[in-house]
Amino acid sequence: MTMHVLVIDVGGTHVKMLATGHARHRQFDSGPTLTPADMVAKVLAVVSGWTFDRVSIGYPGPVLHDHPVAEPHNLARGWIDFDYVKAFGCPVRMVNDAAMQALGSYHGGKTLFLGLGTGLGSALIVDRMLVPMELAHLPYRNGTFEDYVGLRGLVKHGKTKWRAYVEDVVDRLIHALLAEDVVLGGGNAKLLKSLPPACRLGSNADAFVGGFRLWDKTHRHATAARHRKGTAA
Give me the domain span that covers residue 220.
5-99+206-229
SS3 state at 131: strand
What pLDDT is recorded for position 13? Answer: 86
CA angle (111, 116, 122) in 5-degree steps: 40
Residues 175 and 117 grouped into a single domain:
yes
What pLDDT is recorded for position 227? Answer: 40
The 10s digit of each residue's pLDDT in 36-68 is 999 999 999 999 999 999 999 999 989 988 999
The 10s digit of each residue's pLDDT in 103-117 is 999 998 999 999 998
If pLDDT is split at 50, 70 and 90, which confidence band does 175 have? Answer: very high
Please tell me the least confidently modeled range out of 41-45, 90-94, 129-133, 152-156. Answer: 129-133
Residues 197 and 211 grouped into a single domain:
no
Q: Looking at the DSSP assignment, which residues form a beta bridge with residue 111? A: 125, 181
If pLDDT is split at 50, 70 and 90, which confidence band does 132 have? Answer: confident
Residues 197 and 210 grouped into a single domain:
no
Residues 95 and 210 grouped into a single domain:
yes
Residues 49 and 93 grouped into a single domain:
yes
Residues 24 and 139 grouped into a single domain:
no
What pLDDT is recorded for position 79? Answer: 98
Residues 132 and 196 grouped into a single domain:
yes
- pTM (2 decimals)? 0.85
Residues 149 and 218 grouped into a single domain:
no
Residues 91 and 135 grouped into a single domain:
no
Q: How far apart are CA 110 and CA 135, in angstroms?
A: 17
Residues 77 and 121 grouped into a single domain:
no
The 10s digit of each residue's pLDDT in 183-218 is 999 889 999 999 988 899 998 899 999 999 999 876
Residues 52 and 114 grouped into a single domain:
no
Q: Who's near 11: CB < 8 A, 6+ residues apart?
A: 30, 60, 74, 97
Q: How far apart are CA 128 and CA 81, in angstroms?
A: 30
For the cut 80, the answer to whether the pLDDT of residue 226 exceeds it is no
What pLDDT is recorded for position 1? Answer: 65
Q: How far apart are CA 32 and CA 30, in angstroms?
A: 7
Residues 76 and 152 grouped into a single domain:
no
Mean pLDDT confidence for 145-149: 96
The count of structural domains within the chain is 2
CATH of the domain at 57: 3.30.420.40
